Chains A and B, each alone.
Chain A
Amino acid sequence: MTDIKRRSPMVFPQEAKQVEKQGHWAVVMEYASEGEGPWIIDLSHRPRWDLQDSDLSRFKPFEIDIPGKPGQCRLENNVLANRMNRTQVSLWQLTGDRLETPEDTAFTSTMDVTVCLAILGQAVFSIAEKLSSLDFRDPALSTPRLFQGPFAHVPCQMVIAGQPDGMPGMLLTCSRGYARDMVAAILHAGHEFKLQPAGQLAFDKWVAGLA
């Protein structure tokens, strides 16, 4: 009998300490040696959508008011809404029970389009600086904030989410096919800062601090 699984495009060689089955996903909740951070966390199993329409004002996805300007984000009800441009919003459910794709045709599930990961820790901007020329350190930046541009030469969406407990974090999505090379590039860039994979528990705790 076939074991029906959904698989993330990311693979970390570290030993998992706690794995939880979420639907058909086997999600690593914690790794054996996560250290104190910085961390890289696989969020590919979290639902994501693209909402696209010429009149976004008629939508209130998951009861969230869509941010008005490109680059602005709003985190409500565990869902991060990132305004991409005049007609488009990306929606990432960060925690909580899995939400279903809304029935309106303007929504497209993008969970399998992209890989999604988080980089958390004091060194996040030092790591990012090695892979992108985007100005994530801009002190005038209000968070959460969406960036769209190259990261390790790959077109990405990146959200600088905030600094709960003084721990800044970046959420990143890029084409699923780039997952392995993207993770390798980030781990290589983060090696000097002792970047380690961490499980969803670390992420959930961090997100709770954002609220």
Chain B
Amino acid sequence: MSRLQNQPTLRVDTNKPLSFTYKKKTFSGFKGDTVASALFSGGIRIFSRSLKYHRPRGLYSLDGECSNTGMEVNGIPNVNAEKTLLEKGMQVKAQNVKGSPELDAMGFMDSLDRAMPAGFYYRTMHKPARIWPIALQQVRKAAGLGKISPDFRMTGEFDEIFPTTDVCVIGGGPSGMTAAIAAAETGLRVILLEARPWLGGFFDYRQSEFSRDLPHYQRARELEARMQTLPNIRVFTHTAMVGAYSNNLVTAFQIGNEKDPFDERYLEIRAQSMIVATGCIERPLLFENNERPGVMQIACAHRLANTYGILPGKRAVFSVAHDLGIEAALDLFDAGIEIAAVADIRDNPSHAALVSELEQREIPYLKGWVAREALGAPLKSVSLTTLQGTFEKKLECDLLVASAGMTPVTGPLSMAQAELAFDQHTGFFLPKSLPVGVYAAGRLLGLNDSRAIEASGQVAGLSAALNCGKASAQALKDAQEMLAGRPQAERGCNLVMAPVKGRKAFICFDEDTTVKNIKQAIDMGFDATELIKRFTAAGTGPGQSGIPGHNLPLLVAQHHTDHGALTRPTTMRAPLVPTLMATYAGTNHLMSKRTPMHERQKQDGGVMRKIGVWNRARYFSDDFSCRREIENIRNNVGMLDATTLGKFRIFGPDALKALQRVYVGDMAKISPGKIKYSAMCNEDGCIIDDGVVVQRGENDYYFTTSTARAGITVEWIRYHTRYDGWDFNLVNLTDAFGVINLAGPKAREVLSEVIDADISNAAFPFAAYQEFTALDTIPVRIMRLGFVGELSYELHVPGSWMETLWDALSEAGKPFGIANFGLETQNVLRMEKGHLIIGSESEQRTTLHDVGLGGLWDRNKPAVDTVGAVALQQTENQEKRLKLVGFKMKNTRTPPKDGSIVVDDRIRGHVCIARYSHTLQEAVGMALVEDPLHAVGTEISIYEDECQGQLVSATVVPMPFYDPKGERLRS
């Protein structure tokens, strides 16, 4: 189909053709086309089949108000073709058809509507219940949900930005642009969002006069040019607002063009003021077959011609209720379409001159008439009737332009918590009150006069600026007076539907909900619009209530003979416009921590795992039992990167008091050169952390926490001392120090190679702390610990030095067989030694006593001064608590899985950890069990997943399993 070339409002570039495929044929469009406009230009009239009845569907709104043009584009289903800009090489397919859109084998469903009344699936498909799984499959097969391959991978760049602004304007039409200019001229920062790829709103495609010799589209260009001179306005076109939240947080997504480095971009905008200038969409006219291909809204037909240069038909009938309908009829007539008649629901148009222009063109104008039924598929004729249904006439046509008037786009206002109320004069849901910092402008207030629309933008822009403390009250008053001097909101059309029964009058295209379905729901007792919406599914489709949003509450109100106070719009929720999940996901930078040895450990064969915020080496071979690593520690020496431990400095006159508050031990007993192991409990006496504390100077301590608690320890201590007014300071040194755990019977020999000091057992015994200089240069803090049950040193070295010290130890350890070991090896070694990890051998309910660490609690400290101590007193001898026990498996080779449950006639506990111990040559573990089961010698039964009812048996034994006298770690 050739395009109209002389339209000054065209947005397609006919010098830039783009080819694409549809139905295995090559089609052609132009740059600026949407997929839908290009298909329409190529003669396609049926784009899809409907969800339930498989009725043919075509172009209707051009703004994605319904799923009529939901298609599969480049493998992605449910793409709205009328909002998707055409790109070269696109692969377009129809969806929800068996055969072709024109000849769909499932088309017979349309005749089964009587078998599918409102809510039929709720009422029928559960009797008997066993048929539901079968019915569900069939419903899913028949429904038009689109299909996506399980292997489909989303490609493209999905960006995100988080701008802050003073004023955010939603809508780039005349009022939005005027508002943005008014606010920006006060010096404020303004962001303007426009859903279409260009600015101008309903001025953009209109050639009618804004003022003498200035057509509307030119006026829009003027406003756009004015905005471009203001550097404090940021304009985002092709950007749909999707949500509004407290404190004017506005979310949106932008579709990129060929110059943008992204395909789609998510925006999260924080604004001080927000202006909603989203204008109006058309209220669908309800009549029989109102969604048939060939039936479209006024702006759809008008924009096809003026924006895309495509004549929407050859012979048209108009059934309208707004001056824009008459204006479109005149334009399309001038463009070459025969207009059979213009039926106007109203008694009189707002501008009588329009009727004169119809008369000049000899276009019949039928006052008080309305479309009753669209006939033929594709459309061949239309039946018109008077509003009372008294008279009828039938006119042949291939295009029916139908609309019941305008309805404001109030989704953004609704999401911003504005209170909307039905206005009898305009027939609109208008904001009754607006939240602070939220303003409305333009057509959505019911204004039709072009200058009044702009004046309302001026008022909104200045109001928003005043809210930001910028505009003067006088300037706002002047703007308000100017607006008051313009024509006010016009009377709207009150007709809800033509005089028909409504069996095939669709109130919601997406869900195939008819007027009859609504009546059925009401007859079944549903009275609230929200409930009817859910029962009939009207407005729950991808169009986000674009089609039924206004008509549904009006229709319900009409049935209740209440057209006023109780009429409420249904609730709008994000996303107001559907978009890709990939867009919401954004760039999704995965932020995690690496230790200074990360790359080296990977080079050494470390299998890295993300554990909490850190990446850590779990294994160093394919043998996940880590036999060689374990044996090397027991016999030689190994190194573990333990950098992730929490590390803190606490200092100041009251530092000791703070330590006393959060640790259960008496921290005043820390000896110089010694470490003190202690634990922290919460207020319930449940253990939450353990670690060591050393004193480095007067009122100056260094302490460690578990990896998991590192991020919240400062806050924990501050919180529990918040009323005391104590003078102490905390510095989180977790990342400052790398930690090397050098462990094994030959650890001392290796360490002595890099430390020029006496580190003999006498000079540096178990539980000692000293600060050394390694390699004559590197400051290192060393703790003599024994978590893995062997002679062991924990070297705390500044992060920037760590690699050098690690290398030196590796080199020095070669003669002693030094090797890396990972977390799993540490896990087995410490289990053999009976050392616990908080969170593995404890859970939310386990107190210090339950896990066998009651000895850490110093009872001489005043309980009220120690977090958790009162609860420890109360729970110490409580019966039936979970207790941590060690166990050995009856089958000595096979340990149960971690987390398996301990059972008898009911659940008695769970396995915390169990492994085959290469050291002990048998399977051992630790479990939390109810206290009747904790006695040594008790046999416990363990249920594993996939055990098929075969319980495994174990015996409770004393711990530790390995080196019970602690001779090795003290050696």
Contact = CB atoms under 8 A, between A and B. Distances in A.
Contacts of B100: none
B800 A112 contact: yes
A110 B732 CA distance: 9
Interface string A9-33: 1000000000000001100000000
Given A52-B729, A180-B594, A192 B261 contact: yes
A110 B270 CA distance: 33
A50 B800 contact: no
Interface stretch (B51-59, B132-140, B160-168, B479-487): B160-168
Contacts of A152: 589, 591
Interface in A165-184: 175-182, 184
A108 B649 contact: yes
Given A2-B807, A108-B649, A7 B734 contact: no
Contacts of B793: none
A186 to B, nearest CB: 9
Interface in B718-766: 727, 729-737
Identify whether the interface residues of B are mostly helix, strand, loop, or mixed. mixed
A180 B595 CA distance: 10
B268 interface: yes
A204 to B, nearest CB: 21
A8 B803 CA distance: 10
Contacts of B598: 180
Interface residues of B, number: 50
A138 B163 CA distance: 11
Interface in B115-162: 159-162
Contacts of A139: 189
Interface size class of A (residues with CB under 8 A): 35 or more
B737 A184 contact: no
A9 B804 contact: no
Interface stretch (A35-43, A61-69, A125-133): A125-133
A112 B596 CA distance: 11
A189 B803 CA distance: 30
B727 A54 contact: yes
B270 A135 contact: yes
Identify whether the interface residues of A are mostly helix, strand, loop, or mixed. loop
A112 B798 contact: yes
B936 interface: no
Contact of A112 (B594, B700, B735, B808): B735
Nearest to B232: A139
Of the candidates A24, A113, A177, A188, the one having the most CB atoms from chain B within 10 angstroms of its own CB is A177
Of the candidates B159, B727, B729, B804, the one having the most CB atoms from chain A within 10 angstroms of its own CB is B729
Contacts of B595: 177
Contacts of A25: 800
A129 B593 contact: no
Contacts of B730: 52
Contacts of A129: 161-163
A175 B775 contact: no
B424 interface: no
Given A152-B591, A184-B589, A132 B162 contact: yes
B526 interface: no
B812 to A, nearest CB: 9
Contact of A177 (B159, B594, B800): B594
B799 A2 contact: no
Nearest to B728: A54
B164 A137 contact: yes
A101 to B, nearest CB: 12
Contact of B700 (A54, A105, A134): A105
A191 interface: yes
A135 B775 contact: no
Contact of A188 (B587, B700, B734, B735): B587
A175 B714 CA distance: 15
Contacts of B613: 177
A112 B800 CA distance: 6
B159 A112 contact: no
B731 A52 contact: yes
Interface in B239-295: 261, 268, 270
Interface in B677-707: 697, 700
Contacts of B733: 108, 113
B614 interface: yes
Given A7-B803, A24-B801, A44-B800, 9 more contacts: A2-B775, A3-B804, A5-B804, A9-B799, A105-B697, A137-B163, A138-B164, A177-B594, A181-B592
21 contacts: A2-B804, A4-B775, A7-B800, A25-B800, A53-B652, A53-B729, A54-B727, A105-B651, A110-B731, A113-B732, A153-B591, A175-B735, A177-B734, A180-B594, A181-B589, A181-B591, A181-B593, A184-B589, A185-B589, A185-B591, A189-B587
Interface of A: 2-9, 24-25, 44-45, 50, 52-54, 87-88, 105-106, 108-114, 129-135, 137-139, 152-154, 175-182, 184-185, 188-189, 191-192
Shortest 6 CB-CB distances between A and B: which pairs?
A: A177-B593, A133-B162, A135-B164, A192-B261, A6-B800, A176-B735
